[in-house]
Chains A and B, each alone.
Chain A
Amino acid sequence: QVQLVESGGGLVKPGGSLKLSCAASGFTFSDYFMSWFRQAPGKGLEWVSYIGGGGATINYADSVKGRFTISRDNAKNSLFLQMNSLRAEDTAVYYCARDDSTGYSPHWGQGTLVSVSS
């Protein structure tokens, strides 16, 4: 079965950096688009970024463009999110998800909490 396990969250100061990882199993990783979503405490869901199976197709939400970088290592079945210049408003649970071919996300990890605070 599809499993997605995020890691790398934690407490970081404003302006700092953090790299999230998502370990995937139970499917042919390179065949699928993958996405990152986030949810601020007590708030709704926000799409952050997606990446195509080969890594060539990438898109970002305006709120993170220029600060976050999505990448993947298909040999290691892993998805990454490098987050730089972090702000308080980036505080959220970050979820990785496997996308369907049309673009919705039927499989989600359990999330990792990122807290940005001095």
Chain B
Amino acid sequence: EIVLTQSPGALSLSPGERATLSCRASQFVPSAYVAWYQQKPGQAPRVLIYGASSRATGITDRFSGSVSGRDFTLTINRLEPEDIAIYYCQQYGDSPITFGQGTRLEIK
């Protein structure tokens, strides 16, 4: 099973700043099949990024994803109050599908 470790566990930034969220895989993820989801309180998750770096339909270009080896990164530029959420990475390149434990983003 591929274990995904997200860091930091929580992040507190001001509006307009840039957030950098990390997700490290315990082993190679085939085809870089990693997605990033945003989950706001009381809501279902929403996909932001798939295939490590492709933005999902309707997602603002303030969100971007990148990969270097086993390290995956979600970058959120020009933070807005609406970005308050928990962000999860997911790998779907190998069975079982697994998620990271999440990064909680707070806006000061």
Contact = CB atoms under 8 A, between A and B. Distances in A.
Contact of B90 (A95, A104, A109, A111): A104
B29 to A, nearest CB: 11
B97 interface: yes
Interface stretch (A20-28, A41-49, A70-78, A81-89): A41-49
Interface in A39-82: 44-47, 50, 59, 61-62
Nearest to B102: A44
Interface stretch (B12-20, B42-50, B75-83): B42-50
Contacts of B92: 102-104
B60 interface: no
Interface string B9-53: 000000000000000000000010101010100011111001100
B101 A44 contact: yes
Contacts of A62: 96
Nearest to A6: B44
A59 B100 CA distance: 20
B37 A45 contact: yes
A29 interface: no
Interface string B70-104: 00000000000000000010101101111111100
Contacts of B43: 110
Given A103-B33, A104-B35, A45 B88 contact: yes
Interface string A87-118: 00000000100001011111011110000000
A106 B98 contact: no
B45 A104 contact: no
A111 B44 contact: yes
Interface of A: 35, 44-47, 50, 59, 61-62, 95, 100, 102-106, 108-111
